[in-house]
Chain A
Amino acid sequence: MTNNHEYTIALAGNPNTGKSTLFNVLTGLRQHTGNWPGKTVVHAEGFFTYKDEQYRIIDLPGTYSLYSNSADEEVARDFIIFAKPDVTLVVLDATALERNLNLALQVLEMTDRVIVCLNLMDEAKKKGIIIDIAKLSKKLGVPVVPISARNKEGIDELLETIARMVHGEIQTKPTKISYSRTIEEKIAKLLPLVKEVIGDEYPARWIALRLLDGDTSLLHALQSQPHHLLKGGAHYGCHCSAKSI
């Protein structure tokens, strides 16, 4: 594209965590929301400007994981891996953090440009759930922003964090999950081959892990990426960054 740089932001998260609500707050659009998992079935795209810069934001369908169990999950996964959004916002339900963190941890294995959005903070407060944000952020190695999308609380801080991240002002150090010894050994064995075949355009450790899990659909997706010329190196993304083409 031309000088009109536009950043891409993806909204990922479990179903019913308020992604569409946040999407509406940020874009001023009116995606339907409802208190049941699976409300959003078509992924929506919207735009907003913050400090004179253009952002494109994508409301991905809510998923419980990013492993290939269903079409939805593949859509979300492929978007994060192939479209390489400038920031992936992982929206978590603060009242069920334990389950929700799984998805965040999965995203952290895929990319380091992640901001964790702790939504439904008002509900958490009502239920007497207290979360140590600073500690959580340190543990995860990425920024954590508490918000309440429906009450439009914490949005400013979120926007500021997004802006700083797209400008490279935030160094992240995503936590790495350590797996059992057998799995780690297998990863180590597979890793060189993955790097050789896929190149370093994609997170090799994550791909090795997915392959060990028998996820063939990922490999097919990788293979059918039209630009993918086994050598790797060249940086292509689906987003209109100044770098591409």
Chain B
Amino acid sequence: MTQVKLERLCDAQPGERFRITKINIEGTMKRRLLDLGFVPGCEVTVLQKSPLGDPTAYRVSHTTIALRNEESSNIYGERIRDDKQS
């Protein structure tokens, strides 16, 4: 396995897909994120930013969830860069 440098979810751009490896948040918020499908190993798609730049909407297990920067900057993983997504 090649060691990939982990990126932050907040740095992924709209349209990109992202695979989560680690959630660096504690407590209730982490539990909430896990319940919503932000589970290590799962894939999320960045949909778009709110008009004022924050929060950002993500597609995760067929639902749309908006997260603020505070959260998405603590979710780590890798961007999936095959540009031919559906």
Counting contact residues on chain A (CB < 8 A from B), the size range is 10 to 19
B26 contacts A by Cβ under 8 Å: no
How far, in whole Å, are A97 and B32 apart by their CA atoms in the complex? 18
Q: Is the beta-carbon distance between A102 and B35 smaller than 8 angstroms?
A: yes
For residue B64, give the distance in angstroms from its CB to the closest CB of chain A: 10
Given contacts A69-B28, A69-B31, contact A64 B36 (CB under 8 A): yes
Interface of A, helix, strand, loop or mixed by DSSP: helix
Query: A64 to B61, alpha carbons, bound, how many Å?
Result: 13
Measured in the bound complex, the distance between the Cα atoms of B63 and A102 in whole Å is: 13
Q: Is the CB of B28 within 8 A of A99?
A: no
CB distance A99 to B32 under 8 Å?
no
Question: Which residues of chain A are near B31, meaning CB under 8 Å?
Answer: 65, 67, 69
Most buried by A among B32, B35, B60, B62: B35
A98 B32 Cβ-Cβ under 8 A: no
Chain B residues whose C-beta falls within 8 Å of the C-beta of A70 in the assembled complex: 28
Q: Are A69 and B32 interface neighbours, CB within 8 A?
A: yes
The minimal Cβ–Cβ distance linking B42 to chain A, given in whole angstroms, is 10
Query: Which chain B residues numbered 45 to 81 have a C-beta less than 8 Å away from chain A?
Result: 60-63
Minimum Cβ distance to chain A for residue B27 (Å): 9
- Output the least CB separation between B36 and chain A (Å): 6
* The residue from A67, A69, A98 contacting B61, defined by CB atoms under 8 A apart: A98
A61 smallest CB distance to B (angstroms) = 15
Q: Are A96 and B35 in contact (CB under 8 A)?
A: no
> Complex formed: what's the CA distance from A96 to B59 in Å?
11
Of A95, A96, A97, chain B has the most CB atoms within 10 Å of the CB of: A96
A96 to B61, CA, bound (A): 7
Query: In the bound complex, what is the Cα–Cα distance between A98 and B28 (angstroms)?
Result: 22
With the chains together, A65 CA to B37 CA distance in Å?
11
For this complex, 21 residue pairs linking A to B, each with C-beta atoms less than 8 Å apart, are A64-B32, A64-B36, A65-B31, A65-B35, A67-B31, A67-B35, A69-B28, A69-B32, A69-B35, A70-B28, A95-B62, A96-B61, A96-B63, A97-B62, A98-B37, A98-B62, A99-B36, A99-B60, A99-B61, A99-B63, A102-B35
Known interface pairs A99-B61, A102-B35; 11 further A-B residue pairs with C-beta atoms within 8 A, sorted by A's residue number: A64-B32, A64-B35, A65-B31, A69-B32, A96-B63, A97-B62, A98-B37, A98-B61, A98-B62, A99-B37, A99-B63
